[in-house]
Each structure stands twice: as C-alpha cells, then as structure tokens.
Amino acid sequence: MAKRRRERPGPSGFLVVDKPSGMTSHDVVDAARRWLGTRRVGHLGTLDPQATGVLPLAIRDATKLIPFVEGGAKEYVGAIRLGARTDTLDRDGTVLERFEGALPDEAAVRAALTRFEGDILQTPPMYSAVKVQGVPLHKLARRGEQVEREPRGVRVERFALLRYEPPLAQIEVVCSPGTYVRSLAADVGEALGCGAYLDSLRRTRSGPFGLEQAAPFETLEQEAAAGKIAERLVPEVEALGLPVLSLGDEEARRVANGSDLAVPRTRFPDGPGTRVAVQGADGRLLAVMELHPDYRLRPLRVLPPPAA
C-alpha cells in the first residue's frame, strides 16, 4: 500500500466563502483544499446548490474546533413562490401540481409565516443529505423511492415577510442549525392551500460568521493564485468568541499535555461552566477549557503543536 504523502505545515483558521449558485458545498470544500494545500478542510453546515451566501470552512487544526462554533443560529433571506408544488420543494424540482385559483393576500401570507415561528417539528425532505441506513435520502429520491423519516425538533426565531409581489413572497428567516428552509416554504404553501416552493435563498449569517467576512469564490481563486489567500483566514480565537486566557511557558506546556489548571475565583465571576480560549505567550491557541466547580480549568479540546 502506498504511503500518503505528509502534508506541509500551513496556517489554520476559518475561511468564509460567499458560495455562488450552482456549486455544491463539497465543490467549495474541494476548491479550498486546492487553494490552501491541505486535505483538512471541513464545512459548518451545507448549502443547497441553488443557494448562495455564507459557507464557513474550517482549515487544518481549526477542524477540531467545529463543535464549538457550529451551533449558532443561521440567518437567510430568500423568496417563496406561491401557486405550485415541486418534488424537491425548490425551483430545481419537477412541478407536481399548480394552483389555479386566486393567490392569498398579504395579511394571509404574514399570518401563515408566523405559524411556523418557535419550536417546531420538521421532517427532513427526501432530497436532502440525511442518511437512512447509511444511504443519503437524495439518492433514494432519485431512484423514485420514498422512505419514512423521523421528524426533528428545530427552532425558528424569525420568519418574516419582507415584501409581497404575488406570486413571490420575499422572506427573512432566523433559525437553528438543521432547519430546512425549503420545508418551511412548502409548509407555508400547504397552510395557505395554494402550494409553494423555495424560489431563491441566500444565507447571510452562520453562527459567528457573516457576509461581512465572506469573499466571493472568484476572488478567493485569484488570491490563492497570488499566494494571498491565507490572509483571509479568520483566527480561531476570534471565531470562538470566548474569553481569552494567556499563559506563561510552564503553564502552557502543562495545558498542551492535557493537564488541568487551578485558577483564582476572582478571575471568573460567571463561575463554573465558563469556557475560555487558552493561548500561549506567542498568541497560538492551545486549548478550549471549561471551569469546573472546584475552580480548575479542564480541557475540552487541546490543539496539537505546530508541525515541524
């Protein structure tokens, strides 16, 4: 068996891509691997091929921090087209039914949207990456198969109508990770009795990452060719958004080896459960740690030392 070539060391951090329509999230991950010369690239939640906007990628050691930054709310703007249903719940699908009657007025649309705010149960669509017995649902759907899917709890903080020009309803959504906006669009159509599907979608925020940090795909291609793409990386400490604890050399060595750390109570007024980003004197992130009731910081994740 051939040995995998060892990667050259390189910068870690988060790359925020403004994903274009027509590309899958995995297409963007593959491009980032090429841009930065590493296989260690992970995303913080996929976007459908037709959708655009914020797609954060974790690069190298930042992949180990994904669980600490991926749980924040997602924010979107988009459009729902009333008057038809499709098999994929969006404009890329086949139209299954068209509604011939008069479309609902603006008040009815606003009322329908608010019905889906709060904690709701949502069944993953057949055209999704959710796996059943190890097989992605979208593969089963393309074979014409329908399978039972377990509803999942999600939270919709905001589902607002920005503008209504029938048949298009411009919307804004703030929701928990794992929410399918396509499903929300289809559910609104059912509630209104006229059918609906998602016509367009743009993600404007994913947890701590927003459009203000995102760069277009074409720009990143150019910066990679010029050797400047590493300048785009959001530092890990910035992305975590945690209080920062800087250590001297001896304490830093102990933390790097997985040891806990005693701290004075006065340093942590919020008490046990506080999480901190711990860095060495050189500013490199060493670990994410959590304060326990005995006022010792214990590591949740220790990052490896730089490769030689």
Question: pLDDT-derived band of residue 5, with 50, 70 and 90 as boundaries?
Answer: low
What's the confidence (pLDDT) of residue 31?
A: 97
- Mean pLDDT of the chain, nearest integer: 90
The verdict on whether 294 is a catalytic residue reads: no
Domains 13-72+208-237 and 74-206 share a fold: yes
Count the Cβ atoms, other than its own, within 10 Å of residue 199: 18
Question: pLDDT-derived band of residue 127, with 50, 70 and 90 as boundaries?
Answer: low
Per domain, the residue ranges of the chain are 13-72+208-237, 74-206, 242-302
pTM exceeding the 0.95 threshold for the entire prediction: no
Measured CA to CA, the distance from residue 137 to residue 195 in angstroms comes to 23
Fold of 74-206: Pseudouridine synthase (3.30.2350)
pLDDT in tens, 56-83: 999 999 999 999 998 889 999 999 999 9
pLDDT in tens, 214-229: 999 999 999 999 999 9
The catalytic residue among 48, 61, 187, 199 is 48
What's the confidence (pLDDT) of residue 1?
A: 45
Q: Answer whether residue 152 shows pLDDT above 80.
A: yes
Tell me which H or E stretch contains 157. Answer: strand 152-165
Which of the following CATH numbers is that of domain 13-72+208-237: 3.30.2350.10, 3.90.1280.10, 3.40.50.300, 3.40.50.1820?
A: 3.30.2350.10
User: May I ask the CATH class of domain 242-302?
Assistant: mainly beta
Select from 268, 88, 109, 57 the least CA-distant residue to 181: 88
Question: pLDDT-derived band of residue 196, with 50, 70 and 90 as boundaries?
Answer: very high
Contact 300, 290 (CB under 8 A): yes
